[in-house]
Structure 1
Amino acid sequence: MRVLAVDWSGDARGARHRIRVAEARPGELLEVRLGLDREGVGDLLLGLRAGTEPAVVGMDFSFGLASWFAREHGCATLPQMWDLAARDGERWLRACPPPFWGRAGTRKPTGDPARPLYRSTEQDVRARGLNPLSTFQIGGAGAVGTGSVRGMALLAAWRAAGVGVWPLDPAPGSSGVLLVEVYPRAMTGPVVKSSPDARRAHVVADPRIPTALRDAAAATEDAFDAALAALGMAEHVDELAGLGPLRDPTYLLEGAIWAPPM
């Protein structure tokens, strides 16, 4: 089974310069690739689907939004949420209506237990001592909302083309592709990713990264995340190959992060 990780970008014009795609096998980084925009990532997925070897691809954007938001907008399933994002997502990003925030003149909503800013899967990851941000944050440092909204808008078309999406779909058998949502920090460990020196030191100390790929893996935060996510996934390839659909209705509506066991 092939294992890849995509460090995604929601940039309106510069995604090609941000997106990185890494591939790994257990114990070895194989590639860190630059130059694909969001459409190019879709083409890559369709090419993998047509291949003779199954593949699991980690994507670092949220596959859904909080269940209360989905229900308030008439969504009873995750694919309906994707259709909503495809229809209304660009308006959300332009106008930044509550509960979205991060644009100039907007504020983070106050805490409301009935309208949490974090999905259940993000709360699970936070309980592990990590700090995923809310998908409703579409601006500001570390914001993941813009990329997630633009990613969700593509998921329905990819799935209609035969690309599986977990937690709805199982791992592919002898061929096919499954997308899983990942949180790279769960696989990078505690490193100051914004520091080029810290990234370089981390990469040089990792025996899974060949000398020839050190520069590519440490070049940017995006490249670093893609490389370490691919390596972390590859360490658990047997688990990924055995993934089945989840049954919990909350995860089936909000999406779920795959993370390596603690």
Structure 2
Amino acid sequence: MRVLAVDWSGDLRAAAKRIRVAEAAPGRLLDVRGGLDRDGVGDLLLGLRDRATPAVVGMDFSFGLPGWFATRHGVRTLPQLWDLARDEGESWLRACEPPFWGRAGTRRPTDLPVHRETELDARAWGLNPLSTFQIGGAGAVGTGSVRGMALLGRWRREGIGVWPLDPAPGPRGVLVAEVYPRAMTGPVVKSSADARAAHVAVDPRIPGALRAAVTATEDAFDAAFAALGMAEHAAELASLPALTDPTSLLEGRMWLPPVRG
């Protein structure tokens, strides 16, 4: 099975400058590259379809929103939420009205839950995923997530499996799953080029020829370590079952490695 990870971008015009795609095998990084925009990532997924070797692709954006928000909009399933994001997501981002925040003059709501259950679970393990409702400010994931959700429905209709709705290897040999790179990078100040370089220099899984590409940007660093972390658990990912609990079916769920520090 092939294992890839995509460090996503919500940038409206320059996503190709930020998005990085990495591929790994157990114990070894195989590639890290840029140059794809969001549509290009979709083309990559379609290119993996129906191949002899199945693929799992980790994506670092939220596949859902808190269940109360979905219910308030008459949404009962994740695919319905993705279609809602396709139709209304850009309006959410432009207006930045509660529960969204992060733009100048806006504040985090204090009267509404802003995290999904899967994010709260990750926080219990010492991780710190931010709320998808935050669409501006340091580390904000909301813009990229809304623009990613807007594509998930189309990808799934084109035969790309989406976890947790679909089991591995997906209906036509490729499955995308939400991942959280910080769970796989370990403690490192990713914003520091020197810290990234030091972290990479002592990791035997990264060939010398790829070290400069991995350390060049935070995006490349995250993609590389997400792919490596997933590859360590390739056997688990190859048999990943669909989930059936109501919360996962409405909010989505992150895949996290079984051993978390």
So what's the TM-score if we normalise by structure 2?
A: 0.98
Secondary structure of the residue aligned to 2:211 is helix
Contact 1:52/1:174 (<8 A) preserved: no
1:123-138 equivalences under 5 Å are 123-138=120-135
- Match for 1:66: what amino acid? P
**Cα distance, 1:247 vs. partner?**
1.5
Cα root mean square deviation, aligned: 1.0
Match of 2:151 in 1: 154
Matched, 1:207 2:234: no
Match of 2:36 in 1: 36
Aligned to 1:249, which of 231, 238, 246? 246
Over 3 Å counting, the alpha-carbon distance change for 1:198 and 1:247 in structure 2 is same
Match of 1:122 in 2: 119
Contact 2:161/2:172 (<8 A) preserved: no
- Structure 1 residue ranges, 4+ long, deviating more than 4 angstroms after superposition: none
Contact 2:161/2:170 (<8 A) preserved: no
CA distance in 1, matches of 2:235, 2:23: 16
Contact 2:160/2:171 (<8 A) preserved: no
CA distance in 1, matches of 2:5, 2:100: 27
**Cα distance, 1:142 vs. partner?**
0.3
Secondary structure of the residue aligned to 1:138 is coil
- Match for 2:14: what amino acid? G
Contact 2:7/2:59 (<8 A) preserved: yes
Report how many aligned residue pairs link the two structures: 259
Secondary structure of the residue aligned to 2:139 is coil
Contact 2:162/2:170 (<8 A) preserved: no
Match of 1:218 in 2: 215
Q: 229-238 or 44-53: which moved more?
A: 44-53
Contact 1:55/1:175 (<8 A) preserved: no
Match of 1:232 in 2: 229
**Cα distance, 1:162 vs. partner?**
0.2
**Cα distance, 1:52 vs. partner?**
1.8
Identity of aligned residues (%): 76
So what's the TM-score if we normalise by structure 1?
A: 0.97
- Match for 2:7: what amino acid? D
